[in-house]
Amino acid sequence: MSKYSEVIARRGEITARAIGFNYQQFELGGLAFDYEQMMENTGYTLEEITRLQRDVGVGGTPLLELRNITKLARKLSSPGKGARIFVKDEACNISGSFKARRAAVSVYHAAQLGFKGVVAATSGNYGAAVAAQAAIRGLKAIIVQETYDSRGLGQPEILEKGRACEAYGAEVIQLTVGPELFAVFLQVLDETGFFNASLYTPFGIAGIETLGVELAEDLRQRTGRPPDVVVVTHAGGGNVTGTARGLRRAGAAASQIVGASVDLAGLHMASDTDFNRKSFTTGHTGFGVPFATWPDRADVPRNAARALRYLDRYVTVTQGEAFYATEMLAQLEGLERGPAGNTALAAAFVLAQQMNANETIVVQETEYTGAGKHPNAQLTFAREQGIKVSLGDPQTSVPGQSIIIPEHPHQMSIKDINLNGLRLSYLRNALERKGGVPLTPVEIDFLAEDCRATRDLVLAAKQ
């Protein structure tokens, strides 16, 4: 047995020790578990989470109205159309992204349990957030990061995030793309005895709930009512899940939750050849679709991020459109922000044109920018990989082959992903794990709730 297979065989033992959270008590048999009870069992109230976040420079970020972008949207809209566009400026959090909300709770909890350090597997902003929070709490941090292809080339954005982690004092273990990421992560947890600060624990998701609450309360103060639509950049599902739960806590359950991802159809995220042929490292369909259709592919026994429970609509934009939105935000609103939140902005700009002028749409987050995250760095790197970068109709672009940036804002558009299609994929993934054993009534009820499907759809998926 190889070193990697040996450590993966001990996954349950290692993760149980590294989280200090008893997932087993929520199991209902087979595929089913008590999701709501699991979420309620973090041990922290919303008020306590808000307080501990504020103590470390997290939360209370401004809600900004994008007046100039709204004016542009209205110029392109039919009379009476063009919703007011707002953005929650999460770049104002310590470490520069909404993921500080997740990290603040997880790292605090690790300190409360007496762990000497924390480990996270991420190539994104979460690593910087964990490193910053660990520095505040006096804990060590190790970030395991998938960085390079087999040629030793790393994307500018990933390298920028690794630099940020190191700036906060974390040890960064950088790997080439491939299946060894999870095994290395488990090995580090096993050898160090540190806390698993996973993106997908109930602590991390509960940390994002404060964002949903703030968003609803901020907009009520500005307009007298909650948002009509909230657009959330969708990757692993935590952003959608935590924000939607927070909106519900704030009495804004009627707000429509729209997930937005960059369309990277045809590119495989674990492929050595495809790894550097994408210009977005998060917020794309390479994460958004797989995690929606099977959340429990995560590094914890049960993933607390479950997007299909909360998504009302799921749309995609092209890479060129997200870059265009980044420039639009900077040049019309004076906000230079990183690429992830601008995926949602690109979608919101189109959606606003379809909504009434007396309605509101909120882009749920921004993130910090830096040399490696800037469009110039990403587009230069793309050209070096042989990807054609040009102006024109973004709908003619092909992920991994071309990035086409709109010449005019009227070329911006969105494409809907069929949620029922994702639900069927989710159900088929579930049935595959049953191996032909019939579903129990408890499992049928759970699956229907977990992907917002009818019992009939669950039963139909068995055919």
pLDDT tens per residue, range 284-295: 999 999 999 999
- Residue 361's DSSP bridge partners are 85, 229
Measure the CA–CA gap between 8 and 198, rounded to whole angstroms.
17
**How confident is the prediction for the chain on average, in pLDDT?**
95
The number of residues making up the chain comes to: 463
Start-to-end C-alpha separation, the chain: 38
pLDDT at 254 > cutoff 60 = yes
Q: What is the mean pLDDT of the segment spanning 415-437?
A: 95
Give pLDDT, residue 8.
83
What digits encode the pLDDT tens for the residues 2-11?
577 888 888 8
Q: Tell me the CB-side half-sphere exposure of residue 332, using CA atoms within 13 A.
A: 18
Q: How many CB atoms lie within 10 A of CB 306?
A: 26
Amino acid at 181: L
pLDDT at 205 > cutoff 90 = yes
pLDDT at 387 > cutoff 60 = yes
Helices 202-223 + 99-113 axis angle, to 10: 140
Q: What is the mean pLDDT of the segment spanning 330-356?
A: 97
Go through 17-52 and write b for each residue having 16 or more CB atoms within 10 A of its CB, e for each that does not.
Answer: ebbebebeebeeeebbbebeebbeebebeeeebbeb
In three-state secondary structure terms, 441 is: helix
Give pLDDT, residue 463.
59
Measure the CA–CA gap between 209 and 238, rounded to whole angstroms.
10
Instruction: DSSP for 251-313, please give it.
Output: T-TTSEEEEEEE--TT--TT-TTTTTS-S-SSSBHHHHHHHHH-GGGSSSSS-S--GGGT-SE
Q: What is the mean pLDDT of the segment spanning 36-47?
A: 96
Measure the CA–CA gap between 119 and 144, rounded to whole angstroms.
8
Residues contacting 408, CB < 8 A, separation 6+ = none
Burial of 385 (0-12, 13-18, 19+ CB in 10 A): middle
What digits encode the pLDDT tens for the residues 67-77?
999 999 999 99
Measure the CA–CA gap between 68 and 86, rounded to whole angstroms.
11
What are the residue boundaries of the structural domains of the chain, listed by start? Answer: 3-10+97-200, 51-92+203-416, 419-461
Give the residue carrying structure tokens 């939750």: 257
What digits encode the pLDDT tens for the residues 107-125?
999 999 999 999 999 988 9
In three-state secondary structure terms, 186 is: helix
Measure the CA–CA gap between 31 and 113, rounded to whole angstroms.
30
* CATH numeric code, 51-92+203-416: 3.40.50.1100
pLDDT at 408 > cutoff 80 = yes
Q: Which two tokens stand for residue 271?
A: 């492929």
Measure the CA–CA gap between 381 and 67, rounded to whole angstroms.
33
Measure the CA–CA gap between 398 and 123, rounded to whole angstroms.
24
Q: What is the mean pLDDT of the segment spanning 50-75?
A: 98
Q: Which two tokens stand for residue 218?
A: 């901020």
Lowest-confidence segment of 13-17, 221-225, 234-238, 282-286 by average pLDDT: 13-17
Q: Would you place residue 1 in the very low, low, confident or very high pLDDT band (cuts 50, 70, 90)?
A: very low
Residues contacting 297, CB < 8 A, separation 6+ = 290, 291, 303
On the question of a common fold for 3-10+97-200 and 51-92+203-416, the answer reads: yes
Give pLDDT, residue 2.
59
CATH number belonging to the domain at 3-10+97-200, selected among 3.40.50.300, 3.40.50.1100, 3.40.1260.20, 3.30.930.10 = 3.40.50.1100
pLDDT at 307 > cutoff 60 = yes
Look at residues 185, 146, 187 and name the one whose alpha carbon lies nearest to residue 3.
Answer: 187
Give pLDDT, residue 437.
92
How far lies 6's CA from each of 3, 10, 142, 297, 331, in Å?
5, 7, 22, 19, 53
